[in-house]
Amino acid sequence: MNENLDAQEDELLALESIFGPEVFVRAADGTRAAAAGELRVSVELPQDFFVAVKDGDAFVYYGVSSLPTLTLRFELPEGYPSSSPPTFTLGCSWLTDAQVFALDAQLAALYQATGGAVVLFSWVQFLKEDALSILNVNSLLVLPYNACGRPCSSSSTPPAAAAAPAPPPRAPSSSQTLLSVILLHDAAQRQRRFAESVRDCGVCLAPVLGAKCMQLRDCEHVHCEPCLAQYCTGLIAEGNVRGVTCPHPRCKATPTPAQVRRLVGDDLFYRYERLLFQTTLDSMTDVVYCPRVFCASAVIVEPGSDVAQCSVCSFAFCVACRQSYHGRGPCPAAGPPRRTANEERDYADIPHSLGERERERERERERERERERERERERERERERERERERERERERERERERERERATWCSLGTTCSFPGQRVRVWG
């Protein structure tokens, strides 16, 4: 008996040192229940593993890299390991009762094969590496239509305990609920692995622990948070909220609002939300703003309508001129009046020959207007040439006056001056 207790203690200590508290939880010391505990086993999945759920007449497939853990609760009797197997309960949220019973049988067979040796570590390895192959689940797990919302479990309790009243049956929940549990668990495990890895920042190119990096969901590019925060802060401060995208060249993926808030803080995030909302409204063709300065609220215009009414101040205004609605009267911003629907129909009823003659007369009038514009341009060119000739005559008169001034200067110095038809000697 002492040998069994020593073997049990050695096995439990070995499990604690191998797996740690995330996988193995031992019962509290000081009681016989100290020879008990719980093992949480993560099943190894192949590289391309999918979970399928039925949606109507078809199946929808989801790729996952991890499944929720199998829970193995055990208690070691006094005769373990020499003569008695452990008492255990196996639970799993994504297996049916029949599949759990099949694994129970395999665990019992493993103990029988050991010939009285400790078996808990072998059980963990079996559940981790061989559970799916035993259940003939290779690369696809099909969730039943009425999957168990809580873990399905089976127990290796003794016959006396089995005679006790059974608990009330579990109410089955839809497979969509179980699918949500699986996908949330898979996302959490992906995030944990990402945080523990080392990544190269796409901006500064330095190796950074994943816990200090951020991966954009749409493109999966990775950048360290300081670089990404500086990049986003600058864009939001400039008002370029549409430019808050992945810094990777030619990548237009955008971070989620939660990621932006984590990077820039609350103050800049409120500015980001406000500007993004404003630019989104500005890009909508059916949205105008109330022309009242004290209001300026966004107003949605009904398709084909020329009137809008502000839901805040109840002001009705014309969409074209932004003035108080003027009914069917002429709008200052509408330009020349257009034909009404009745006028369009009347015009369409005109015979083709009459319409063609009218169009020809209009074309002739347009040609005459073009000829008149050409004559006006020619008259303008002639006036410009006359102004140029007048400027040339003025320049000639100015040159003549300059020559007269030069002759007067030479005469005052006693120099021989030449006048038309004679030569005079002037003495000073």
- Decide if 156 contacts 89 (C-beta within 8 A): yes
Closest CA to 39 of 62, 20, 58, 56: 20
Q: Which of 64, 23, 70, 47 is nearest to 187 (CA)?
A: 64
Residue 264 pLDDT: 93
| HEC letters along 306-362 | CEEECCCCCCEEECCCCCECCCCCCCCCCCCCCCCHHHHHHHHCCCHHHHHHHHHHH
pLDDT score for 425: 47
- pLDDT > 60? residue 410: yes
Mean pLDDT of 411-421: 54
Q: Cα–Cα distance between 361 and 151 in angstroms, integer? A: 89
Q: Is the pLDDT of residue 167 over 50?
A: no
Who contacts 51 (Cβ-Cβ below 8 Å, separation ≥6)?
Answer: 61, 62, 64, 140, 141, 143, 179, 182
182-205 pLDDT tens trace: 999 999 999 999 999 999 998 999
For 220-248, the pLDDT digits (tens) are 999 999 999 999 999 999 989 999 999 99
- Note whether 309 and 301 are within 8 A (CB): no
Considering only 49-63, 64-78, 315-329, which range has the smallest mean pLDDT? 315-329
- Interacting residues of 163 by C-beta distance below 8 A, sequence separation 6+: none
Q: Which phi and psi angles does 40 have, rounded to 5°?
A: -110, 110
Cα angle 234, 240, 246; round to 5:
70
- The pLDDT tens digits of the residues spanning 90-123 come to 999 898 889 999 999 999 999 999 888 999 999 9
Amino acid identity, position 418 = S
What are the tens digits of pLDDT across the range 350-363? 444 445 666 677 78
Nearest to 54 by CA among 162, 175, 211, 156: 175
pTM value is 0.58
Residues 6+ apart with CB under 8 A from 71: 38, 39, 40, 41, 90, 91, 92, 151, 153
Token readout for 296 is: 């300026």
Round the average pLDDT of the chain to a whole number and report it: 82
381 Cβ contact list (under 8 Å, min separation 6): none
Please state, in angstroms and rounded to a whole number, the distance separating the CA atoms of residues 177 and 306. 49
**CA 422 to chain CA centroid, nearest Å:** 101
Cβ contact 334:320 at 8 Å: yes
Q: Which domains, from first to last, does the chain contain?
A: 2-159+172-190 (3.10.110.10), 199-282 (3.30.40.10), 287-332 (2.20.25)
Residue 320 is predicted with a pLDDT of 84
Least confident of 72-76, 111-115, 267-271, 358-362: 358-362
- pLDDT digit string, tens, across residues 7-38: 988 999 999 999 988 999 988 765 555 688 99
CA angle (3, 4, 8) in 5-degree steps: 120
